[in-house]
A and B are shown apart, each in its own frame.
Chain A
Amino acid sequence: MNLTLLILLPLLTAVLILLAKGLQQIRVIGLIGALAQLGLAGWLLKRFLDQRAAGNTAAHLFESNQTWFKALNINYHIGIDGISLAMILLTSVIVIAGILVSWSMDKLSKEYFFLLVLLSMGAYGFFISLDLFTLFFFLEVAVIPKFLLIGIWGSGDKTKSAMKLALMLMGGSALVMVGLFGIYYNTHTFDMVQITQQGIPVGVQKFFFPFAFLGFGVFAALFPFHTWVPDGHASAPTAASMFLAGISMKLGGYGCLRIAALMPDAAHTYSWIIILLATIAIIYGAFATMMQTDLKYINAYSSISHCGFVILGIGMLNKTSLNGAVIQMVSHGLMTALFFAAIGMIYSRTHTRMVAQLGGLLKAMPFISTVFVIAGLCSLGLPGFSGFVAEMTVFMGSWQNPEGAYRIATILSGASIVVTAVYILRATGRAIMGPISNEHALLSDATWNEKLAAVLLITGILIIGLAPFLINHLIIPSTDAIVLQMGKVNLLK
């Protein structure tokens, strides 16, 4: 099984899109490509589970390692473990959904779909790479498409948002770069596997961990580097918002996880800072959301709050919390994508995202409203949806740290679920329920492609929410490996 296919397939799709003529061809090609990606990811999953079942306990499967820049000892080293596989599956699902919701994008459609596909390619490459250089490479590959997508097809103050997003993300990756150099010159390799084996001197870790972690933190909307999130998401076209929140922010979380795994000592040293920032992000994001009046801003800020859980899980540095972080990444990816999809559908019909101007949509567009409500319920962590599983796992993990301060952090983060309930229900109560205005009463419900996209994402959410043991089965071995290698395994007494 050659993982490079995951990069080549989107590349091929992109090229074909460039050659295609007319919206119809383009979107069909895009959809086929996306389906192929999903198929590939699914097949990968099957192969992965088979191998594990066959007793292959290697940390990374389907590894392949080619020398790239011999002089600099840079290798093209790819391979996946459970975590990356989960991320890959997430990406493939969101890509399909994204292409489906932008089915009728007639403005510069060729470029639009081209960039979408390019973005997905970046994500895949990022998740499969085991070499810090390629990791960094793909991290930045994903930035430019975002800039163009937001700047060209966005709404509102789009160029400003696009610029802000691009610059802050570049700033983040600049920090990452410095961190990577530090690692490189103290281990003479970029290869994560090798680095894990030979370890990094503690002093070096302590010096370079902040660079790398904060750098990725910017991508993961870590407080106080989250300010690109609201504007970026709000200005982006629907599919781009879905990709941003669903995939790109996960690049950050994933990167933080890997960095923490590479520099365990530093991670332990700084964990209190990480947890502090995460807790602030959770609470602060939640309260900031409560004050928003624009649906997209509501979801953007809530994303900050939810991604805080990812960071919190990582910061707590034990098996359960790391599981929680990973599940939360997947869950939040699906959930927020669904949310943005619903908001996009509403916006494309009512041409407003202001909660105050909406109302009673449940009457005019029951399907979309139901989707919206489901996304909302998932976001406030209702059992049966993925959000519950993820958040509870994070809580459970965090609670395992007996230190009082960590307890308080956990309780505070827990308190955010109440605030979440408040803002979700306010938005739902105003926009979906209540009396409907006359001009909205006649609007049409979702079309087949929108329905398909929503159903796809909801299925994902339900699979995790109803059968969490499946995803656990996938990721727990990997997190175990990480935790063992970090030399700190916390279990309940």
Chain B
Amino acid sequence: MSNYLYILWIPLLPLATFVLLGLFGRKYLSGIAGIIGTASLLTSTILSFVAAKQYFFVDGKVNGVFQKIVALKYTWLEFSPNVSIDLGIIVDPISVMMLVVVTSVSLMVHVFSLGYMKGEERFATYYAFLSLFTFSMLGLILSANIFQVYMFWELVGVSSFLLISYYFNKPSAVAASKKAFIVTRFADLGFLIGILILGFYGGTLDIGLLIERFTSVHSTQFLSITSASFLGASMLTWGLVLVFMGGAGKSAMFPLHIWLPDAMEGPTPVSALIHAATMVVAGVYLVARMFPVFSMDESALNIVTYVGAASALFAAVIACTQTDIKRVLAYSTMSQIGYMMFALGISKNGGENGLGYMASMFHLFTHAFFKSLLFLGAGSVIHMVHSNEMKDMGGLRKLMPITHIAFLIACLAIAGIPPFAGFFSKEEILTAAFHENKIVYGIALFTAALTSFYMFRLYFNIFWSKEAPVAAHGHDDNGHESHGEGPWVMKLPLLILAACAVGVGFIPFSQFVTSDGAALETHVDVVFSIAPVVLSVLAILLATSFYKNQNGKSDKVAAAFGGFYTAAYKKFYVDEVYIFITKKIIFPFIGQPIAWADKNIVDGFMQLLAKTTSKISELIKGLQSGKVQNYAMYFFGGVAVLSILFIHIWK
């Protein structure tokens, strides 16, 4: 098969940009940093489209099955023979698909930022970090070695950290970035140990080999890892669950989701890129990447399923109550990723049963577009009103028509209204769920309804409800104009993404991306799709009646829900639990005792030695009485003692 090595340039170009801007950007290139970043990313995007074309339409398929192609493999760090971190490039349907998604969304964000971040002091730094992120994300996608995944996993994490804390003199932003990094780090610990387990029993870190060894039931590796067990679960389960833990951390699955809403402290384009479209789906991607192995272990898959489903529902409920528009979007993201997760969980490997897998990937694909669209839309709204709060908004549809339209399209897409993109992907997921697991199907259905409800709550609160506020006009403290919707560079991405949100649904996805690479025939069953669509429409109507123009209804309903509402509004107190554990348990009961013990016990012991020595010397100083007669007596005493001692010993 032909050479895919040029794919190497797709990640390397952003890396180069990062180095360039990181070293010289601040001093010399601050003016043209944006152009440089965008240009290089444009190149990568084109390259990735080329790659996609070549793979999907030219030579990816060998007798009807898409192949896994390892385009590059370089031994980077060898632990011991055949256990090593290899930097590699793997080309298969999902990686190519992700290439397209990441590059294009990232490109949109780059363009959008040209307008959004204009006049920032650390403009160049911003683009440097953005490129760093893109590089890491691409590297993650292309990884052929599970440890390579881990490495880029960490890099993605740190670039997210850097971008969230971009407004570094804002304490809340710093806190949020810390939270994001530490929570994901905690999850990564699980990932790491998972890797260690799989690597130990698999005897390799190469994903392809791992899959090969763990999927063949008779291989020694498979037998050893399944026979070994800890706390009643087989080592395979442990390994997979721990790996999934890493994924759950990045993808903000319950209960590791707490960092995502706070992460909205970062610049909005960043949220659009990292916390909506790309990084947060890394978890899904990871599970998909390891899916054949997951499919060998029922219990691991179940965990994936239920964590996913739970997160989907949980997030959706919270999203209905939040008033910060970015937080609403954040929770909706979490909920959608929950969708993808449980879709994977209920799927099987290969053939018809692989529907869930395909659906999940499809939803990932579509979601990337409409969610980033939503964020960018929100971005331009915020850019105009300089606030995240719903109460500061309303009736903006006249002031920013383009944004309005784009946002509406995105909402319809996510609500799963045909013929918008979300409809198709969601449909597949629901079908898969319906066949595999009725409970999950129920949850999914309900969540779908909730989704449409809160999305339109959001929509109406921003664009309708009251008349155009005057406050929004005039100059903000940065001093740049906020009339209208900002420059064309901010509108263009909206339009493009809107087009995608409408269009991408029609891509015959199942032809390309499936669990086993073979094409999969899917049929949109009209009868089946009635239920979800109707539900969504009803939910939208409900939202309309509540929020289209201000009337007390919503508050009444909220009051009706009472405690449940406040609980949801307070995000079900998960943050409080974490804060309790860290601030009230770890610090006072582990940290401080240890710090204290080090000062007083360990070091105190050394001090004690010194003190005792000097004390003793103080005590015995009387020996040297200064009286020559005593000296003589001690002398004689010495003689006596020695003689007794040694004449005795001699005996």
Which A positions have Cβ atoms within 8 angstroms of B? 164, 167-168, 223-224, 226-227, 230, 284, 287-288, 290-292, 319-320, 323, 360, 362-363, 366, 377, 380, 382-384, 388-389, 392-393, 395-397, 399-400, 410-411, 414-415, 417-418, 421-422, 425-426, 429, 432-436, 468-469, 472, 476, 491-493
**C-alpha gap A360/B154 in the complex (Å):** 25
Chain A contacts for B82, CB-based, 8 A: 492
Chain A residues near B178 (CB-CB < 8 A):
425-426, 429
* A384 & B155 in contact (Cβ 8 Å cutoff): yes
**How distant is B244 from chain A, measured CB to nearest CB, in Å?**
17
- Number of contacting residues on B, CB 8 A? 52
Task: Please give the residue numbers on chain B whose beta carbons come within 8 Å of chain A beta carbons, in ascending order.
Answer: 26, 75-83, 85, 147, 150-152, 154-155, 158, 161, 165, 168-169, 171, 174-175, 177-178, 181-182, 185-186, 189, 192-193, 196, 199-201, 203, 224, 587, 590-592, 594-595, 598, 602-603, 605-606, 610
Give 8 A-B contacts (CB < 8 Å), ordered by A residue: A168-B606, A288-B598, A377-B158, A397-B79, A400-B80, A425-B182, A436-B169, A469-B75
In the complex, the answer to whether B591 meets A492 with C-beta atoms within 8 Å is no
Contacts of A380 in B (CB 8 A): 185
Asked whether, in the complex, the Cβ of B75 is within 8 Å of the Cβ of A227, the reply is no
Q: Specify which of A363, A396, A414, A434 lies most central, judged by the most chain B CB atoms within 10 Å of its CB.
A: A396
Task: Establish whether residues B189 and A366, one from each chain, have CB atoms under 8 Å apart when the complex forms.
Answer: no
**Could you tell me if B78 and A414 are in contact, using CB atoms closer than 8 angstroms?**
no
Complex Cα–Cα for A397 and B161 (A): 30
CB within 8 Å for A468 and B158 given contacts A360-B169, A383-B152: no
In Å, the complex CA distance between A323 and B78 comes to 10
Within the assembled complex, what's the spacing in Å between the Cα atoms of A400 and B605? 36
CB contacts (< 8 Å) of B192 on chain A: these are 395, 414, 417
In the complex, are the beta carbons of A418 and B186 less than 8 A apart?
yes
* Given known A-B contacts A320-B80, A429-B174, A472-B77, A224 and B196 have beta carbons under 8 A apart: no
A469:B189 contact, CB within 8 angstroms: no
Q: Are A382 and B158 in contact (CB under 8 A)?
A: yes
In angstroms, Cα B415 to Cα A493, docked, is 51
Is the beta-carbon distance between B203 and A492 smaller than 8 angstroms?
A: yes
- Nearest CB in chain A: distance from B220 CB, A: 8
Q: Closest Cβ of chain A: how far from B579's Cβ, in Å?
A: 14
Beyond known contacts A287-B590, A287-B591, A415-B189: 12 more, CB 8 A cutoff: A227-B598, A227-B606, A287-B594, A396-B79, A396-B196, A397-B79, A421-B181, A421-B185, A425-B177, A429-B174, A435-B171, A436-B169
Q: Which of B75, B78, B200, B203 contacts A399 (CB 8 A)?
A: B200
Tell me the bound Cα distance from A492 to B168 in angstroms. 45
Query: Which A residues touch B165, using CB under 8 A?
Result: 429, 433
CB distance from A407 to the nearest CB of B (A): 9
Complex: A360 Cα to B165 Cα, angstroms: 12
The winner among A366, A410, A418, A432 for most chain B CB atoms within 10 A is A418
Pair B169/A434 contact, Cβ less than 8 Å: yes
Judging by beta carbons under 8 Å apart, are B76 and A395 in contact?
A: no
Q: How far is the CA of A93 from the CA of B76 in the complex (A)?
A: 24
Q: List chain A residues, Cβ under 8 A from B181.
A: 421, 425
Min Cβ gap B332→A in Å is: 28
Question: What A residues does B80 contact at CB under 8 A?
Answer: 319-320, 396, 400, 491-492
Find chain B residues with CB under 8 A from A436 CB: 169
Q: B182 near A421 (CB under 8 angstroms)?
A: yes
A434 and B189 form a contact (CB under 8 A): no
Across the interface, do A417 and B200 meet the contact criterion of CB distance under 8 Å?
A: no
Tell me whether B174 and A288 are in contact (CB under 8 A): no
Q: Which residues of A contact B605 (CB under 8 A)?
A: 224
A396, A411, A418, A468: the one contacting B76 at CB < 8 Å is A468
Complex CA distance for A320 and B83, rounded to whole angstroms: 10
Q: Find B154's partner among A227, A319, A320, A383 (CB 8 Å cutoff).
A: A383
How far is B587's CA from A288's CA once the two chains are assembled, in angstroms? 10
Do the beta carbons of B182 and A469 come within 8 Å of each other? no
Q: Which residues of chain B come closer than 8 Å to A492, judged between CB atoms? A: 79-80, 82-83, 199-200, 203
- CB of B185 within 8 A of CB of A417, answer yes
Among B158, B175, B200, B602, the residue within 8 A (CB) of A429 is B175
Return chain A residues, CB-CB under 8 Å to B81. 491
Q: A291-B591, A383-B151, A472-B77 are in contact. Are A493 and B602 (CB under 8 A)?
A: no
Q: Is the CB of B186 within 8 A of A414?
A: no
Cα distance, A166 to B455, chains bound together (Å): 68
* Closest Cβ–Cβ distance, residue B72 to chain A (whole Å): 16
In whole Å, how far is B350's beta carbon from the nearest beta carbon of chain A? 29
Contact pick for A472, options B26, B78, B587, B603, CB 8 Å: B78
CB neighbours (8 Å) of A418 from chain B are: 182, 185-186, 189
Nearest Cβ distance between residue A443 and chain B, in whole angstroms?
16
Output the least CB separation between B206 and chain A (Å): 13
6 smallest A-B Cβ distances: which pairs?
Answer: A291-B595, A383-B151, A433-B168, A227-B603, A396-B79, A468-B77
Q: Which residues of A contact B203 (CB under 8 A)?
A: 492-493
Q: Are B200 and A469 in contact (CB under 8 A)?
A: no
Q: In the bound complex, how far is the Cα of B58 from the Cα of A418, in angstroms?
A: 46
Contact between chains at B594 and A414 (CB < 8 Å) = no
Bound-state Cα–Cα, A223 to B85, Å: 32
Q: Which residue of B lies closest to A397 (CB)?
A: B79
Q: Report yes or no: B594 in contact with A284, Cβ–Cβ below 8 A.
A: yes
CA distance A429 to B172 in the complex (A): 11
Shortest Cβ gap from B369 to chain A (Å):
30
- Tell me if A292 and B602 are in contact (CB < 8 A): no
B626 to chain A, nearest CB (A): 30
Please determine whether B79 and A290 come into contact, CB atoms closer than 8 angstroms: no
Q: In chain B, what residue has the closest Cβ to A426? A: B178
Task: Give chain A residues whose Cβ lies under 8 Å from the Cβ of B177.
Answer: 425, 429
A92 to chain B, nearest CB (A): 24
List, in ascending order, chain A residues with CB within 8 A of B158's CB. Answer: 377, 382
Whether B77 pairs with A393 at a CB distance below 8 angstroms is yes
For the complex, give the distance between the alpha carbons of A384 and B77 in Å: 12
Expressed in whole angstroms, the Cα–Cα distance for A469 and B590 within the complex equals 39
Measured in the bound complex, the distance between the Cα atoms of B246 and A418 in whole Å is 13
A292 to B152, CA, bound (A): 31
Query: Nearest-CB distance from A482 to chain B (Å)?
Result: 15
The answer to whether A469 touches B77, judged by C-beta atoms less than 8 angstroms apart, is yes
Look across to chain A and name the residue whose beta carbon is closest to the beta carbon of B593: A287
CA distance A236 to B171 in the complex (A): 32
Contact partner of B193 (CB less than 8 A), chosen from A388, A411, A429, is A411
Which among B147, B595, B598 has the greatest number of chain A C-beta atoms within 10 A?
Answer: B598
Closest partner residue, chain B, to A402 (CB atom): B200
Tell me whether A389 and B77 are in contact in the complex, defined as CB-CB below 8 angstroms, given that A414-B192, A426-B178, A436-B169 are known contacts: yes
Contact, CB under 8 Å: B168 / A362 = yes
Bound Cα distance A238, B80 (Å): 38
Q: How far is the CB of A418 from chain B (nearest CB, A)?
A: 5
**A164, A383, A432, A491 pick with most chain B CB within 10 angstroms:** A383
A224 cross-chain contacts in B, Cβ below 8 A: 602, 605
Residue of A nearest to B185 (CB): A421
Contact of A290 among B75, B77, B591 (CB under 8 A): B591
Contact A288 B594 (CB under 8 A): yes
Closest partner residue, chain A, to B179 (CB atom): A425
Residues of A within 8 A of B592 (CB): 291
A60 to B580, CA, bound (A): 56
Once the chains are docked, how many angstroms separate the CA of A395 from the CA of B192?
A: 10
Q: Contact at B26–A366, with CB atoms within 8 Å?
A: yes
List of B residues within 8 angstroms of A417 by Cβ = 185, 189, 192
Which residue from A393, A396, A493 sits with its C-beta under 8 Å from B201? Answer: A493
- By beta carbon, the residue of chain A nearest B592 is A291
Could you tell me the distance between the alpha carbons of A319 and B83 in the complex, rounded to whole angstroms?
13
Q: Tell whether, in the assembled complex, residue B182 and residue A414 are in contact, meaning their CB atoms are under 8 Å apart.
A: no
Known: A384-B155, A418-B182, A425-B178. A493 touches B168 (CB 8 A): no
From A226, A399, A435, B196 is in contact (CB under 8 Å) with A399
| Closest A residue, CB atoms, query B79 | A396
A422 touches B182 (CB 8 A): yes
CB-CB under 8 A from B598, the residues of chain A are 227, 230, 284, 288
Residue numbers in B under 8 Å from A476 (CB-CB) = 78
* CA–CA, A164 and B607, complex, Å: 9
